[in-house]
Amino acid sequence: MKKMNLEMIVGLFLLTGFASFSFIAIKMGDIRLFTEESYPVSARFVSISGLREGAVVEVAGVKVGKVSGIELDGGKYEAVVRMDISKAVHLSDDSIASIRTAGIIGDRFIKLTPGGSEDYLGPGDEIHETESAISLEELVSKYIFEKK
């Protein structure tokens, strides 16, 4: 009887450990078990310096989506960024997409600033107003080498 109680306690301890490990892995990996409804939009940038797939898309500091893909438009030498935006968010067609940095040297993310138009972006539409990433290295070198 004592052996069976010990085995039950060890088994419960292992199950609790596996459940805890799984929970932490899902949270740290930002894995969505139940996918939220979203629609794709894209934007073109001259420079996306440091932006990565999976980066956060925010409106007013609230996460509303993520970057789902980045590719180069070889004809125009622009970066095309695809984003998945929550269906609960309705962006006007004159919204502005800006690449920002979280903190001084933090991760890059896309900040969306809604416009005033009454027409909204739909699935597959493109945001035409964009602000590219600001490169801290370029600003510093410009300041140093142009100062005479």
pLDDT category, 14, cuts 50, 70, 90?
very high
- The string of pLDDT tens digits covering residues 21-58 is 888 887 776 666 556 688 899 999 888 888 888 888 99
Contacts (Cβ under 8 Å, ≥6 apart) of 114:
59, 91, 92, 95
- pLDDT exceeds 80 at position 75: no
SS (HEC) of 60-121:
CCEEEEEEEEEEEECCCCEEEEEEEEECCCCCECCCEEEEEECCCCCCEEEEEECCCCCCEC
What is the average pLDDT value for the chain, to the nearest integer? 83
Q: Which two tokens stand for residue 6?
A: 């010990």
